[in-house]
Amino acid sequence: MRTYLVTGGAGFIGSNYIHYMFRKYDTEIRIINVDSLTYAGNLENLQDIENRENYTFIKADICDKEAMEKIFEENDIDRVVHFAAESHVDRSIRNPEVFVQTNVLGTAVMLNAAKKAWEKEDGTYLENKKFLHVSTDEVYGSLPDDENAFFYETTPLDPHSPYSASKASSDMLVKAYMDTYKFPANITNCSNNYGPYQFPEKLIPLMINNALQGKSLPVYGDGKNVRDWLYVDDHAKAIDMVQEQGKLFERYNIGGHNEKQNIEIIEIILETLLEILPEDDPRRANVGKQLITYVEDRKGHDRRYAIAPDKIKKDIGWYPETMFKDGIKLTIKWFLENEEWMKNVTSGDYQKYYSEMYK
């Protein structure tokens, strides 16, 4: 039975990945989820699987070297899937240090702990051990408004925000371990994810939540910045395929060829809400374009992201399965059915962040 060490598994993509893996492999695998439960980590995301015999949760910080080494000493880990990170660009602009701490130092600690556990005396590694570093397309910087320009695996790293600079640094560290120590790893660089359990500081859940409450929909700048949206299950599937079918030491871009301007996304959300909400639902009255409010632009706002997923398609056969029109419906339905989840995550500290951020 393969044992996975998933870092950051209580967050948005990590929890969706854990659900995906149990749906796919059921009792064939064991998952250990290590997460320090920052504001973005939520064990409610994993309630339905928490009693499985082949699942263990450990509350620990990935920067804690002793705690990470202990996990490797006590368990025969076969796969590391490293999601844990500070992930929100706006927060990184306000408070960069914690991004360097978790995303750079935390990644170094994870690499060292895995290397220590897996390396043999002759410098080679125990058989079939693999580390996957989950990264982002933001490390490549920004593309012009030219629909023929894409990010490739060979595109030079050119990060702009403290968040993307910290992720690019962690990518370089993983690359250094592969180049120097032949450490068995892969790097994946994925575009914007959306789906269930996404924290409502990010564009899609924030707009859904605000529209339902009749709150304004804050659009940064001219609203024409482009992101390439991928349904989170397609990302989970890609990570698993890269780890099992990809070539070690390679970087793979993951994206949906689904580029949309932010304003288009907001309009689609409003239309879909009106399509889904029952005629007698009082929240229908709140939903409409009058909520759209143009606000000050994000500092250093990257204009356009667009992934060319040619390599992962050609080498591994992965392609995005969920069309945006279906994925956004699934997502909105999930948020409508999980109002309690939204209430819980938006209480307390998040209220403080929101009123500071959008004052």
Residues at the contact surface with ligand DAU, assessed by CB under 6 A: 87-89, 136-138, 191-192, 202-203, 206, 218-220, 225, 227, 262, 298, 305
Residues 187-246 that bind ligand NAD (CB under 6 A): 190, 192-193, 199
Beta strands at 55-59 and 192-194: parallel, antiparallel or unpaired: unpaired
* Catalytic annotation present for 20: no
CA dihedral 68, 73, 76, 81 (to 10 degrees): 10
Residue with the two structure tokens 């969706």: 16
Structure tokens at 241: 């395929």
* Catalytic annotation present for 125: no
Q: Closer to ligand DAU by CB, 42 or 87: give it.
A: 87
Residue 171 φ/ψ, nearest 5 degrees: -60, -45
Taking Cα atoms as reference points, which of 36, 37, 117, 41 lies closest to residue 79? 117
Contacts of range 164-169, beta carbons closer than 8 Å, 24 or more positions apart:
164/89, 164/136, 164/138, 164/139, 164/302, 166/85, 166/86, 166/92, 166/96, 166/99, 166/100, 166/102, 166/103, 166/104, 167/85, 167/103, 167/135, 167/136, 167/138, 167/139, 168/139, 169/100, 169/103, 169/104
In whole angstroms, the minimum distance from the beta carbon of 263 to ligand DAU comes to 8
Q: Closer to ligand NAD by CB, 192 or 225: give it.
A: 192
Give the number of other CB atoms < 10 A from CB of residue 283: 14
206 makes contact, choosing from ligand DAU, ligand NAD, none, with CB < 5 to 8 Å by partner type, with ligand DAU
In whole angstroms, the minimum distance from the beta carbon of 354 to ligand NAD comes to 16
Residues 36-65 that bind ligand NAD (CB under 6 A): 36-38, 40-41, 61-63
- Which residue of the set 61, 78, 86, 138 is catalytic? 138
Walk across the sheet containing 79-82 and list its strands: 55-59, 29-35, 2-7, 79-82, 130-136, 185-190, 251-254
- Which residue of the set 35, 61, 78, 137 is catalytic? 137
In whole angstroms, the minimum distance from the beta carbon of 187 to ligand NAD comes to 11
Beta bridge partners of 317: none
Helix segments in 222-323, DSSP class H: 232-245, 262-276, 310-316
- Which residue of the set 55, 125, 163, 194 is catalytic? 163
In whole angstroms, the minimum distance from the beta carbon of 186 to ligand DAU comes to 17
Number of residues that bind ligand NAD (CB under 6 A): 29
Residue of 5, 6, 13, 31 that binds ligand NAD (CB under 6 A):
13
Q: Closer to ligand DAU by CB, 61 or 201: give it.
A: 201
* Catalytic annotation present for 137: yes
203 makes contact, choosing from ligand DAU, ligand NAD, none, with CB < 5 to 8 Å by partner type, with ligand DAU
Q: Closer to ligand DAU by CB, 118 or 331: give it.
A: 331
Structure tokens at 197: 């359990």
219 makes contact, choosing from ligand NAD, ligand DAU, none, with CB < 5 to 8 Å by partner type, with ligand DAU
- State how far the Cα of 153 lies from the Cα of 69, in Å rounded to an integer: 32
In whole angstroms, the minimum distance from the beta carbon of 73 to ligand DAU comes to 31
Binding mask 75-114 for ligand NAD (x = CB under 6 A): --------xxxxx--------------x---x--------
Taking Cα atoms as reference points, which of 111, 83, 29, 18 lies closest to residue 57? 18
Which spans of this chain sit near ligand NAD (rule: CB under 6 A)? Answer: 8, 10-14, 35-38, 40-41, 61-63, 83-87, 102, 106, 134, 136, 167, 190, 192-193, 199
Known catalytic residues are: 137-138, 163
